[in-house]
Structure 1
Amino acid sequence: MLKRLSGIIEQLRGRSHLPPNASGRSPRQPFFSRLRAKYDAANTTLDNMKHWSRADGLSASSANSPEVRRTLRNRSRYEVANNSYARGITLTLANDVVGTGPRLQMLTADDAANRFVEAEFFAWCEAIGLAEKLRTMRLARVADGESFGLLTSNERLNTPVNLDLRLIEADQVASPTLANDSARYIDGIRFDADGNPTSYDVLRHHPGDDFFAYEEEYNTVPAAAVLHYFRCDRPGQIRGVPDITPALPLFAQLRRFTLAVLAAAETAAEFAGILYTDAPANGEADSAEPFEPIELEKRMLLTMPGGWKMAQMKSEQPATTYAEFKKEILNEIARCLNMPFNVAAGNSSGYNYASGRLDHQTYFKSIRVEQTQLARVVLDRILTAWLREAILIEGYLPNSLRTLDSTFEHQWFWDGHEHVDPAKEANAQKIRLASHTTTLAIEFARQGRDWETELKQRAKELALMRDLGLTIESDESDSSPETEVTEDNAEESQSQQAD
């Protein structure tokens, strides 16, 4: 054993002079070289050669080159413009993410200043149509892969703050014709040594305009005035690709299959009937010209040539698998957007209550993630720009907010998602509050509302009802919540907490 171990050590050191063994392999070769770990997915065979022929090792910026992104944008825009499912999916996603628009809640120590800023910022959002622009930005991210917004000044706004948000398409943010891309200047975006964007080159006209020229002039906009909204899937990615990129071939397949089924059904319907004979070739039957059309009149009794019969064409379309095919391919299309099938198709006929809620959990979680990104990339920067402009207006903001030396604490509220059964939701909410497993702030936030604003409004209503002598129902139940907990609402409460 010691002799064998000594020989192995000599092999590892490369000083063994032993002759080759019976297998022909030199003993100087380390013994562990016989163990080779491999992956089936890394093997290239005749069966998978074509499938993996397009795989490459390009970087994120090279893979998403301007030419590639331009092609993807054009094709995704075409599908969204001409495919009803694609249009409905993108509109539903934008409406669910943005809804009627975000609402600001300031969290500084000065309550009066908080209420003033919230009211003034809401009025400014309504004046510039911020909710509509946010929905447009989300729609653009689906079809274009990214959206750009420029913080500009608009003197025609009927608000003290003249800040405005102007949206531009991704085509306009590009390198000028004579500008060469480099390590710090890629596709119209200039970066500093730390990888932070410092400026954007924006073409003055869209490349798709009829009067656009290749020597078109451009504006260099500082990064502080540009909002770039896209999803980063790879480290080092600086430009976005359409969210529906993986589904573009599937949309084409759905269109082709639908047109093929429709064409087959129309072809079968165009033939009123056919003449056929059971007689063998050269048998006894009157002569008939093959493929000769015969005009038929309504409610007429016809006689056939001798030996010939008439039969109606059987329509084999649509195929029995047509509906199943559409369901499966729509499910695959919506998967890249984390959208359940019943939302993408607008049809929940095959769902029960439990499966519908289970599918929506992943969808709602994805929406919360997108709302967080939208708040960080777009809304927080808009609020900071608005406050900077408001500070410059003499006597406009309260004194406690006339400095940006410290970050003002705030949060954004979005539209809540309606429950299928409001009674069960209210009962589950009551149980959670009674067991102190939630707070009013959390419960109101689920509905996209500010708990302080709602409680103040409720107090005003109760005070007015007392003044008018109206009956006020007691908020306390006659029996304790513990005695009202049944098996059904307990399970509902657990499912609500899981959401």
Structure 2
Amino acid sequence: MQAALSDRLVGIISPRAMRRRMAARAGAELVDMSLKAARPSGGRRRYEAGRHNRLTRDWHPGSGSADATITQDLGVMRNRSRDLARNNPYVAALVRQLVANLVGDGIEARAAHPDPAIQKLAQEIWLKFARSKVDGRHDFYGLQKLAVRTMVEGGDVLNVWTAKDGVPDARCRLVEGDQLETPSGLWGLLNTNGPLIRDGVEFDGAGDRAAYHLLRDHPGDMLRGLLRKYDRVDAQHVDHMFEPTRPGQTRGVPWLAPSMMVVRMLQDLDVAIATKKRMQACIGIIRTMSRDEDEEEVDVGTETEAGEDEGSGSPALERMVPGMVVEGLPGEEYTTITPTADGDSDTFYRQQLRSVAAAIGIPDHLMTGDVGQANYSSLRAATVAFWAVLDDWQWNVIVPFLCDPAFARVMRREALLRREPRLAECTAEWTPPPRQWVDPIKDVAALVMQERAGFINKPEILAQRGKEYRAHFEEKAAVQALGDKLGLVFDTDPRRVNGSGALQPPSGFVLPKDDADSRSVVSFFGRMLDATERGDRAAINQGFVEAATALRDGDPNGQAMAAIIGALTGADEPENRE
């Protein structure tokens, strides 16, 4: 760096000051150069993820709409997803765990209406429908399980409602996404004068779903699938369930889509590792003939069916098996080959399985069954996070697209048949399957504390366990009444026994009204007994006053109270009357 004129003038007086000035100016120039290098071209701030450089040279994502990115590959992804669910043990376990946690033994409905009579009638109607053969084979809870599994594997599922014996919306039929297809291929693009059809879904002028174009038979059927005959089904008769991830999305994608390639790679890796393990069980051998021996003079004999050379006794080395002993010919040399160990393939395999589970949103131990590296805290954290994902799927996908429409259809149908329009006003409060506790003692204690603090109520707690609170309370009251009638006291009855197993003190709001007289006598006896043991004369005198007052007023408990105070004190009158 060349010194400026001012620096040289300063240097005449103080060379040290000149060097400091030059060093400061050089540092300032370096900072300015760094800022210019970091500033984007054109002076605009940009995201690093949007830059084009050598690190992103091969990254060319498409800019298509939600439907454009799905339509062309949906069929291939659907077929591959089902193949993995059929043949890959980890994917099979993943799908089964998802369905079990999302649906379990069924997502149940609790009818809600301001009129208790209508509410009770609606509940009876729904239970009768849900437990019937809604599709000719499954009840509604079995239909939920099959619908959710179809959505997970194929991306979407359609529940088509049809009439039965002249009654509308009386029968369900699940249809796979394979049968939802636009007629004549390019109909949705070329038919500019008609309705807009995307992937088999017809839209009206307002952009709402108007109809679904369904193949009568599955296209994969060996015989009838070749006919490819379509039916236009009005949208009011179809419930289309899938998980939307972008606005304007018409169809859903298989849930395994982000991790299919990883699973496929792991399948190939699994075969390679298994082959290597088999090789490690054998000893590879290379046979070298003697140099001073002419190959033409060696009697090779004839090869038998077992692969052995009869002339030399030497085995066919291409067919090595574990435990084989090789006998060589004179002059032959054998070199063994021992394969190396697997290294860190097990760690890599486990990490990739974790990525597959994370892509779906479930804890990896549910897919692999491996909890060897887990503890209570990690399992608890993973389970709580998984419950949040379950809530999202249940309340934002399954309930609004499958359960709510079914309940509304049944109530509308019965409102017409029974001529009771108030049934159509009923809504449903859905109860997912109960979730098993990680630590029952801690979890129950937490629920009790939340209820005592007023954060939740008993109906909400019972709903989490899959119980309808009205029916539960009625059943509990019936059991307690029968126990009281037979004179039974259970250790789990909080009216009689506290948490430590001791008898509860009598309380007016606990005992029945018919026992009011005996309650007052028992309470008086307890207070007097305690006062006598403590030698509390004031409390004993107060007891005499209460007994005398009861006798004077004609209270039927007066005689008993006087007898109690006399028996405990041995006197008929108080020693000191205040």
Q: Which residue of 2 aligns with 1:221?
A: 233
Alignment of 1:121 onto 2:133: no
Q: Distance in 2 between matches of 1:299 and 1:259?
A: 24
**One-letter amino acid of the structure 1 residue matched with residue 62 of structure 2:** D
Alpha-carbon distance, 1:173 to partner: 1.1
Alignment of 1:72-87 (within 5 A): 72-87=77-92
Q: Distance in 1 between matches of 2:327 and 2:225?
A: 70
Q: Which deviations, in whole Å up to 9, do the C-alpha atoms of 1:222-253 show, x marking residues without a partner?
A: 11110100111111111111111011101111
Contact 1:429 1:443 in 2 (8 A): yes
Q: Which deviations, in whole Å up to 9, do the C-alpha atoms of 1:15-58 show, x marking residues without a partner?
A: xxxxxxxxxxxxxxxxx9952323332233344322x13x1111
CA 302–467 in structure 1, closer or farther in 2 if over 3 Å, else same:
same
Contact 1:441 1:451 in 2 (8 A): yes
Secondary structure, aligned partner of 1:469: coil
Q: Which residue of 2 aligns with 1:495?
A: none
TM-score by length of 2: 0.67
TM-score by length of 1: 0.77
CA 369–213 in structure 1, closer or farther in 2 if over 3 Å, else same:
closer
Alignment of 1:140 onto 2:150: yes
Contact 1:161 1:390 in 2 (8 A): no
Q: Distance in 1 between matches of 2:322 and 2:180?
A: 65
Alpha-carbon distance, 1:100 to partner: 0.7
Q: Which residue of 2 aligns with 1:171?
A: 178
2:160 aligned residue (141, 147, 150): 150
Q: Distance in 2 between matches of 1:420 and 1:227?
A: 36
2:390 aligned residue (344, 367, 371): 367
Q: Which residue of 2 aligns with 1:204?
A: 216
Secondary structure, aligned partner of 1:360: helix
Alignment of 1:92-107 (within 5 A): 92-107=97-112
Alpha-carbon distance, 1:382 to partner: 0.7
Q: Which residue of 1 aligns with 2:50?
A: 42
Q: Which deviations, in whole Å up to 9, do the C-alpha atoms of 1:62-87 show, x marking residues without a partner?
A: 1112x311111111111111111111
More relative contact order, 1 or 2 (CA 8 Å, 6+ apart): 1
CA 296–410 in structure 1, closer or farther in 2 if over 3 Å, else same:
closer
Q: Which runs of 5+ in 2 are unaligned?
A: 1-39, 190-194, 301-313, 501-578
Q: Which residue of 2 aligns with 1:231?
A: 243
Q: Which residue of 1 aligns with 2:404?
A: 380
Q: What is the root-mean-square deviation in Å for CA atoms of aligned residues?
A: 3.5
Secondary structure, aligned partner of 1:465: helix
Q: Distance in 2 between matches of 1:140 and 1:76?
A: 11
Structure ranking higher in helix proportion: 2
Q: Which residue of 2 aligns with 1:68?
A: 73
Q: Which runs of 5+ in 1 are unaligned?
A: 1-31, 480-499
Contact 1:108 1:410 in 2 (8 A): no
Q: Distance in 2 between matches of 1:296 and 1:418?
A: 50
Alignment of 1:461-480 (within 5 A): 461-473=479-491, 474-475=493-494, 477=498
Q: Distance in 2 between matches of 1:296 and 1:339?
A: 42
CA 310–179 in structure 1, closer or farther in 2 if over 3 Å, else same:
closer
Q: Which structure would you say has the larger Rg?
A: 2
Q: Distance in 2 between matches of 1:143 and 1:429?
A: 36
Secondary structure, aligned partner of 2:461: helix
Q: Which deviations, in whole Å up to 9, do the C-alpha atoms of 1:121-156 show, x marking residues without a partner?
A: 122212122122211221122221111110113449
CA 268–411 in structure 1, closer or farther in 2 if over 3 Å, else same:
same
Q: Distance in 2 between matches of 1:309 and 1:185?
A: 72
Q: Distance in 2 between matches of 1:460 and 1:423?
A: 27
**One-letter amino acid of the structure 1 residue matched with residue 377 of structure 2:** A
Q: Determine what percentage of the aligned residue pairs are the same residue.
A: 22
Contact 2:93 2:366 in 1 (8 A): no
Alignment of 1:393 onto 2:422: no
1:335 aligned residue (341, 347, 358): 358
Q: Distance in 2 between matches of 1:70 and 1:91?
A: 22
Q: Which deviations, in whole Å up to 9, do the C-alpha atoms of 1:445-493 show, x marking residues without a partner?
A: 22122222212211111111112221133416368xxxxxxxxxxxxxx
